Amino acid sequence: MSAPVASPSRWRGVRAWFDVRFRSPAAIYGLIVFAAFVTIADDHAETVGEVLLSASSSLVVFFIAHVFAHTLTQHAEHGLWHATLDGVRHGAGMLYASVPSVLALVFADAAGMSVDDASELCGWSTFVVLGILGYFAYARRRAHLVMRLLGAFATACLGLFIVVLEYAVH
């Protein structure tokens, strides 16, 4: 007896779920901002837990600001409740995209890593996620494998460059 094969419509649903959570502009912004918050918190935190708390709470504040801005600009056309729910849906990627980095910090804390090592692990996590997003962006354009890999690397490098710029500004 063979295993059931997922239908194309099921894959479309998985892709749509993934896109909303990880491939939206809000998700990519959240990923980069979270990495910047971790880098900034690394300067003054004494424990990995403090880094995680500082970066996570800062990201939640940015998420709330995003929902507020979305609600404020949309409530006249759609009503307050619908505009707020749409803002939460639209901005949720900011929170979802930080999950791999949060897990890296939780792992670093459980492993007893230093704050600097945990921050570096989080940076690598961000680099990998951005690389994966870059790879699939080029794959959707049907680019050759070499271009997909180069695009993934360039995307990840550019994202980390933006993190460094954010850190330099703060």
pLDDT at 162: 94
Sequence-distant (≥ 6) Cβ neighbours of residue 160 within 8 angstroms: 35, 123, 126, 127, 130
- pLDDT digits (tens), the chain, 170 positions: 555 566 677 788 887 777 767 778 888 899 999 999 999 999 999 999 999 999 999 999 999 999 999 999 998 998 999 999 999 998 998 999 899 999 999 999 999 999 999 999 999 999 999 999 889 889 989 999 999 999 999 999 999 999 999 889 98
The torsion angles phi and psi of 167, rounded to 5 degrees, stand at -65, -45
pLDDT at 5: 60
SS (H, E, C) 126-159: HHHHHHHHHHHHHHHCCCCHHHHHHHHHHHHHHH
Q: Where are the domains of the chain?
A: 23-125+163-169
pLDDT at 2: 56
pLDDT at 91: 92
DSSP states along the chain: -PPPPPPHHHHHHHHHHHHHHHSSHHHHHHHHHHHHHHHHHHTT-SSHHHHHHHHHHHHHHHHHHHHHHHHHHHHHHH-HHHHHHHHHHHHHHHHHTTHHHHHHHHHHHHTT--HHHHHHHHHHHHHHHHHHHHHHHHHHTT--HHHHHHHHHHHHHHHHHHHHHHHHH-
pLDDT at 4: 59
pLDDT at 10: 77
Question: Do the beta carbons of residue 105 and residue 122 sit within 8 Å?
Answer: yes
pLDDT at 61: 96
